[in-house]
Amino acid sequence: MDHFEYRDGALYAEDVAVAELAARFGTPLYIYSRATLERHFRVFDAAFGSHPHLVCYSVKANSNLGVLSALARLGSGFDIVSVGELERVLAAGGEPGKVVFSGVGKREDEMVRALDVGIRCFNAESEAELERLQAVAARLGKRAPISLRVNPDVDAKTHPYISTGLKENKFGIAIADALAVYSRAAAMPNLEIVGVDCHIGSQLTQLTPFTDALDRLLALIARLEAQGIHLRHIDLGGGIGIRYSDETPPHPDEYAAAVLAKLAELPYEICIEPGRAIVGNAGLLVTRVELLKLTADKNFVVVDAAMNDLIRPSLYSAWMDIVPVDARLERPRRCYDVVGPICETGDFLGKQRTLGVEAGDLLAVRSAGAYGFSMASNYNSRPRAAEVMVDGEQVHLVRERESVTSLFAGEQRLP
């Protein structure tokens, strides 16, 4: 459920007409709903009830300061993968003590900054990383809190590009090697083992891969305990899917119930790192139809948003719903590919969509809150879109549209 609904045929974002926002801020435009965002966070937070837990929103899904600050106010933790994301979280008012740091290639300067501000945990993905972190922490006279990101080798049953928990993926430490690596970490004086972590993929629509992964983590934890290595938390990563068309992903309540059933009375705090499930359906991308191109073989709607604004359809062949902003307009309906102006055959937002549109009309791509703006680029020297957050009748411009000249601000002509 989201707060983007039709009222008398006109699409609204909470209490504001989408057409009004497009007129005021131009297109392409990302529109977020604060009510949806906050509701999604609260549903996750409430699902774990009184069991100790921390929801660490995965910043990569949407790192806008408006989004981060709204979540920080609700007490969210954050899953980051770079010092850039860390600085965003801090600027948004997030608590460093609720930050977990994932990623296979953390640089030394990133480790230094994270240790300085006192993050909650480094999710370490290799022995080489542990050695580097040990050296950095020793130099600073600190102890770095760590979890090992283990790779439980379960099939997440999602798109191969967004599946991360298989042996052949670059992520994590093979679960068969985890005991040995934990023992080595335990012997490093400037590391403090606090947990275990996994993340098996994104846009998961079934529960079983999560529960299979948890079973494997619990078996590992039992062996660690037997060796005198005690953990405080289990981080299950993110990955719960959303409904783009007819998917039926597990509800956070079902997910939490399945996790808590396995933990029974075990004392571990649960961390989760949802990104898409919190912000995906809290956002729309609005675009204007530039022109129609009708040919003998195919019809195209050429819009002013492109793969640089929203790359998911091009990159993963992801299907995202495209709807008219004004459903009252009477237009001839045709089957179209909805494409952008970029010079790539892969530049499309949707293929074979039956739409009634004319030049100048507005379309909205639904469920674009996650991995939309955060994956946007300036390809073809296109400025990135503006982002607005709607809150009831209020509208906050949470990021201005880039100016064309700002795109080459740091560049130099040769003498």
Ligand X SMILES: Cc1ncc(COP(=O)(O)O)c(C=O)c1O
Pairing mode, if any, of strands 29-33 and 233-235? unpaired
Q: CB of residue 79 vs ligand X: minimum separation in angstroms?
A: 5
Q: Please tell me whether residue 199 binds ligand X under the rule CB under 6 A.
A: yes
Q: Would you call 10 helix, strand, or coil by DSSP?
A: strand
Pick from 274, 289, 368: nearest CA to 321? 368
Going residue by residue from 346 to 375, which x/- string records binding to ligand X, judged by CB under 6 A? Answer: ------------------------x-----
Q: Footprint of ligand X on residues 58-87 (CB under 6 A)?
A: 58, 61, 79
Q: CB of residue 239 vs ligand LYS: minimum separation in angstroms?
A: 8
- Cα 160 to Cα 165: distance, rounded to the nearest angstrom: 10
Rg from Cα positions in the chain: 23
Q: CB of residue 296 vs ligand LYS: minimum separation in angstroms?
A: 34
- Cα 337 to Cα 333: distance, rounded to the nearest angstrom: 13
Q: Please tell me whether residue 324 binds ligand X under the rule CB under 6 A.
A: no
Q: Please tell me whether residue 276 binds ligand X under the rule CB under 6 A.
A: yes
Tell me, what DSSP letter sits at residue 269?
E
* Shorter beta-carbon distance to ligand X: residue 170 or 223: 170
* Shorter beta-carbon distance to ligand X: residue 61 or 221: 61
* Shorter beta-carbon distance to ligand LYS: residue 147 or 164: 164
Of 235-243, 252-260, 299-307, 332-340, the segment contacting ligand X by CB under 6 A is 235-243
Q: Please tell me whether residue 236 binds ligand X under the rule CB under 6 A.
A: no
- Cα 11 to Cα 18: distance, rounded to the nearest angstrom: 6
In the block, which residue shows the tokens 């977020």?
32
Q: Which of 56, 121, 271, 343 is catalytic?
A: 343
Of 172-180, 252-260, 270-278, 374-382, the segment contacting ligand X by CB under 6 A is 270-278
Q: Please tell me whether residue 102 binds ligand X under the rule CB under 6 A.
A: yes
Q: Please tell me whether residue 106 binds ligand X under the rule CB under 6 A.
A: no
Tokens describing residue 377: 């680029």
Cis peptide, bond prior to residue 152, ω within 30 of zero: no
Contact (CB, 8 A) for 120 and 100:
yes
- Cα 137 to Cα 114: distance, rounded to the nearest angstrom: 10
**Binding-site positions:** 239, 273-276, 312, 316, 344, 371
Q: CB of residue 58 vs ligand X: minimum separation in angstroms?
A: 3
Q: Is 343 an annotated catalytic residue?
A: yes
- Cα 332 to Cα 342: distance, rounded to the nearest angstrom: 26
- Cα torsion 223, 257, 233, 153: sign: positive
- Cα 94 to Cα 71: distance, rounded to the nearest angstrom: 8
Length, in residues, of the chain: 415
The partner in contact with residue 273, picked from ligand LYS, ligand X, none with C-beta cut-offs of 5 to 8 angstroms by kind, is ligand X
Q: Please tell me whether residue 147 binds ligand X under the rule CB under 6 A.
A: no
Chain residue at closest Cβ approach to ligand LYS? 371
Residue 185's identity, in one-letter code, is A
* Shorter beta-carbon distance to ligand X: residue 283 or 324: 283
The partner in contact with residue 312, picked from ligand X, ligand LYS, none with C-beta cut-offs of 5 to 8 angstroms by kind, is ligand LYS
Interacting residues toward ligand LYS by CB under 6 A: 60, 162, 202-203, 312, 316, 371
Pick from 282, 303, 280: nearest CA to 292? 303
The residue ranges that bind ligand X (CB under 6 A) are 58, 61, 79, 102, 199, 202, 237-240, 273-277, 370
Residue numbers annotated as active site: 343
